[in-house]
Structure 1
Amino acid sequence: METIHPIQPLTGTGTKPKRKRSIIDCDLHLAPLRGGYQALKPYMSRYYREQIETWGPRVPGQIGMYNNGGTNGTMRDHKMPPGDETVALDYIRSNLLDKYQIDYGIITGMDYGINTIPDTDYAAAVCSACNDYTIEHVLAKEPRLKASIMIPKQDSELSAKEINRVASHPGFVQVIVSNGAEKPYGHRRYYPIYEACVRHNLPFAIHVSMEGIGINPPPTGAGYVSHYAEYRLARAGIMMTHLASFIYEGVFELFPTLKVVMIEAGMMWIAPALWRMDQDWKALRHNTPWVKKLPSEYYREHVRVTSQPIELPAKPEMFLPMLEAIHADPCLMFASDYPHWDFDSPALAFPKMPDPLWERIFYTNAAELYGLPQRGAAKGGND
């Protein structure tokens, strides 16, 4: 079991670090930087290129159903200038990486809509094209950017094949899927994916989106909701289902080195979810005898969660105790969700907290998970 670092209580002198330190941002949405599906066509066979030319991408979108705020879901003041991928990367460097001293940014996939269609061969072709595009136009040009392997999760064998194909590239640091899914992710249909993740030492990441879209079931047990605000809340409930599924189906017993990352579903809901699961495990453990430990222990050892969107309590003094309740010291990683409308600025998103905790959330936890270098003293910013 890994060492758990207890959160130190906030004192009168405990604040964010005064020194401007570099960070790791665990949720960036940057690709395809230009051209949408047209940019992916060079990486696809003629058969699929002609399909896109004739019928378009054939992939459901989410913004039209539950409008993701802003214009196309992005910040109004962040519009890419005209030009090719080089121009776009220069814009990202100056407006994100350099501005906020980001040592590494994790790109969390492209179009999750590919996780919603029944044509698994087409889904696999698009995922392969996304990954090849990312290698050529992003990873080869900006070493500070790392990426996520897109997979057609509808077909576990095809997914494992794609992981095996590109996992050796050092720029890929995790495998990613949408939160919307046909089955909770603890289900055995996904085991070939986890076998491939473990084989290549890659975390399995779940990013909110595509709940209730395409082949995925409705976003709530009561059906579809009417407004985007309701939809955002429903996403956390689905992520909670995946978390419970991993634990109660015994996935972490079968794959003891597997790590799971929960992205953009919030974080404070995790505390009561763990309390409830621990209580139920004690009372009902005869139902799942293969679950050997408290659910909260599996969570601490196997699950990491990104911070955005942060739920801030009405009473500021509740913030640090809630961070302790979700085991933030070993499990929480900073994410900005750039360039979306609800972008969390690294400089403003978090209230004041002790220096060691800030360090783990903004850098160390992600560096440990993704195998990135620890920040050296020379990489810090100016006082």
Structure 2
Amino acid sequence: MNLKFTEEKATQAAANRPKMKRSIIDCDIHHYTGLNVLKPYMPRQYLDLMETISGTIKPSRAPVAGGFNGGLGGRMVDSFPPGGGPAGGDLAYMQEHYLDPYNVEYGILTGEGFGMQSSGNYDYAAAICSAVNDYTIDQWLTQDSRLKGSVFIMKQDPTLSVKEIDRVGGRSDMAQVIVSNGATLPYGNRHYYPIYEACVRHNLPFTIHVGNEGAGVNGPPTGAGHGSYYIESRAARPQVMMAHLASFIFEGVFERFPTLKVVLQEAGVFWVVPYLWRLDQDWKALRVQTPWVKKKPSEYFRDHIRVTTQPIEEAPNRASFDQMLENMWAKETLMFCSDYPHWDFDSPLMALPRLNDELWDRIYYQNAAEIYNLPQRKAERKE
């Protein structure tokens, strides 16, 4: 079967695509950041070594059989530019294919892969992060004011991470600091405190995006070790997020950094509800062990944590779905993301069932505008 998406088909598809009436903020758009586009932004000493070294840091997921089971190479077939090149690699086509028809007022770019965040070669990994950031600024953020960047850091070494946050985190077009779900230590550990100091200094949320669990220097993707198949790795992502969330709360991070915001990205949504019930229950019984935790875990979650929609679980019925939204304070804590251009892309028109206007507005725009310090919709601004 010929999977090439021709220019004629792309034009026809764009013309037939439903249009969004109200503008949205998409918190997770994966623009292409492969090594071939990063080379012009890499230090000279690494240019001859990139292909060799990249083999040791390229995997962004645990070593499982298979991989993405949809689309073309894990991407939507029609997300590849008609003129050639990788999905998410052509700004003009992304504008035509996604940003314009779906009325994306702001989109947060999250790159492709977190392999550098599993590497023990700290200096090289830091150079890759800087190259991703410089490429994103040069080729994307300066070309479309709707797009905002994520500061990639080499979180294994907080000193290098802080240096990078201070280098580019003060830019108005950088919206967050981003790391992988896979880590060497849970993110509440004091090892990461210098990173949070820098996030607070630049008023940037700290975003944990799925990926890299069990890869390189990172811990196993589950408490039982590695699975055999991609679906196991995918199913285990909430486990790792749970560990990070508990670590943030019980290590007292939000007492030490009361203005820090944390985004949990692409690990599902509704697992949060029973998990917070459990954390609250255990805190009541065991709070003598962590006297610095002054509030219920669910209160810290509500004040400091935001969760993105993709991939939201399908409840057995609408009543259950609505109850889960209410129990996680979705009006305050949930933000839309599409995961464009990945195979499991969530169309803004179909990601969620019909919502009342206020809840729709909070999830699709206002919650993200608040945490990323973005303006009101253009149509609603008084200029």
Same fold (TM over 0.5): yes
User: C-alpha displacement at 1:376, in angstroms?
Assistant: 4.0
Instruction: Give CA deviations for 1:8-57 in whole Å, capped at 9, x if unaligned.
Output: xxxxxxxxxx982110001110132xxx2122122121111121155555
Comparing 197-206 with 163-172, greater Cα deviation is found at 163-172
**Matched residue type, 1:181:** A
User: Residue in 2 aligned with 1:132?
Assistant: 134
**Matched residue type, 1:297:** E
Give yes or no for contact 2:178–2:208 (8 Å, CA) kept in 1.
yes
Call closer, same or farther: CA 1:55–1:199 in 2, change over 3 Å.
closer
**Matched residue type, 1:37:** L
From 351, 355, 358, the equivalent of 2:357 is 355
Call closer, same or farther: CA 1:235–1:116 in 2, change over 3 Å.
same
Instruction: Give CA deviations for 1:121-160 in whole Å, capped at 9, x if unaligned.
Output: 1111110111011110000101111110000011011000
**Matched residue type, 1:38:** N
**Matched residue type, 2:23:** S
User: % of aligned pairs identical?
Assistant: 57
**Residues 103-118 of structure 1 aligned to structure 2 (within 5 Å):** 103-118=105-120
**Residues 134-149 of structure 1 aligned to structure 2 (within 5 Å):** 134-149=136-151
User: Residue in 2 aligned with 1:68?
Assistant: 68
Query: Residues of 1 paired with 2:255 and 2:295: CA distance?
Result: 10
Aligned Cα RMSD in Å? 1.9
Give the secondary-structure state (helix, strand or coil) at the position aligned to 2:26. Answer: strand
Give yes or no for contact 1:179–1:208 (8 Å, CA) kept in 2.
yes
Give the secondary-structure state (helix, strand or coil) at the position aligned to 2:140. Answer: helix
Which structure ranks higher in relative contact order (CA pairs < 8 Å, sequence separation ≥ 6)? 1
Call closer, same or farther: CA 1:55–1:356 in 2, change over 3 Å.
closer
Give yes or no for contact 2:20–2:102 (8 Å, CA) kept in 1.
no
Give yes or no for contact 2:307–2:334 (8 Å, CA) kept in 1.
yes
Query: Residues of 1 paired with 2:104 and 2:194: CA distance?
Result: 34
**Matched residue type, 2:59:** G
From 41, 45, 54, the equivalent of 1:47 is 45
Instruction: Give CA deviations for 1:170-216 in whole Å, capped at 9, x if unaligned.
Output: 11100000000010000010001000000000000000000011111
Give the secondary-structure state (helix, strand or coil) at the position aligned to 2:176. Answer: strand
User: Residue in 1 aligned with 2:192?
Assistant: 190
Comparing 232-241 with 42-51, greater Cα deviation is found at 42-51
Call closer, same or farther: CA 1:355–1:74 in 2, change over 3 Å.
same
2:263 paired with 1:265: no
Query: Residues of 2 paired with 1:84 and 1:209: CA distance?
Result: 23
From 370, 378, 382, the equivalent of 1:368 is 370
User: C-alpha displacement at 1:281, in angstroms?
Assistant: 0.8
Query: Residues of 2 paired with 1:249 and 1:28: CA distance?
Result: 31
User: Residue in 2 aligned with 1:283?
Assistant: 285
User: Residue in 1 aligned with 2:339?
Assistant: 337
From 301, 305, 309, the equivalent of 2:303 is 301
Query: Residues of 2 paired with 1:136 and 1:76: CA distance?
Result: 27
Query: Residues of 2 paired with 1:19 and 1:133: CA distance?
Result: 30
Query: Residues of 2 paired with 1:232 and 1:130: CA distance?
Result: 25
**Residues 163-312 of structure 1 aligned to structure 2 (within 5 Å):** 163-312=165-314
Structure 1: 5+ residue stretches without partners: 1-17
Call closer, same or farther: CA 1:77–1:252 in 2, change over 3 Å.
same
**Matched residue type, 1:30:** H
**Matched residue type, 2:208:** I
Query: Residues of 1 paired with 2:333 and 2:257: CA distance?
Result: 19
Give yes or no for contact 1:112–1:209 (8 Å, CA) kept in 2.
yes
User: C-alpha displacement at 1:220, in angstroms?
Assistant: 0.6
User: C-alpha displacement at 1:277, in angstroms?
Assistant: 0.5
Give the secondary-structure state (helix, strand or coil) at the position aligned to 1:77. Answer: helix
Call closer, same or farther: CA 1:19–1:93 in 2, change over 3 Å.
closer
Structure 2: 5+ residue stretches without partners: 1-18
Q: TM-score of the superposition, structure 1-length normalised?
A: 0.90
User: Residue in 1 aligned with 2:15?
Assistant: none
Give yes or no for contact 2:20–2:349 (8 Å, CA) kept in 1.
no
Call closer, same or farther: CA 1:214–1:149 in 2, change over 3 Å.
same
Give yes or no for contact 1:320–1:353 (8 Å, CA) kept in 2.
no
2:19 paired with 1:21: no
User: C-alpha displacement at 1:60, in angstroms?
Assistant: 2.9
Give the secondary-structure state (helix, strand or coil) at the position aligned to 1:293. Answer: coil
Give yes or no for contact 1:31–1:134 (8 Å, CA) kept in 2.
no
Query: Residues of 1 paired with 2:284 and 2:52: CA distance?
Result: 57
Call closer, same or farther: CA 1:233–1:24 in 2, change over 3 Å.
same
User: Residue in 1 aligned with 2:32?
Assistant: 31
Comparing 197-206 with 64-73, greater Cα deviation is found at 64-73
Query: Residues of 1 paired with 2:272 and 2:201: CA distance?
Result: 28
Call closer, same or farther: CA 1:55–1:305 in 2, change over 3 Å.
closer
Call closer, same or farther: CA 1:218–1:146 in 2, change over 3 Å.
same
Q: TM-score of the superposition, structure 2-length normalised?
A: 0.90
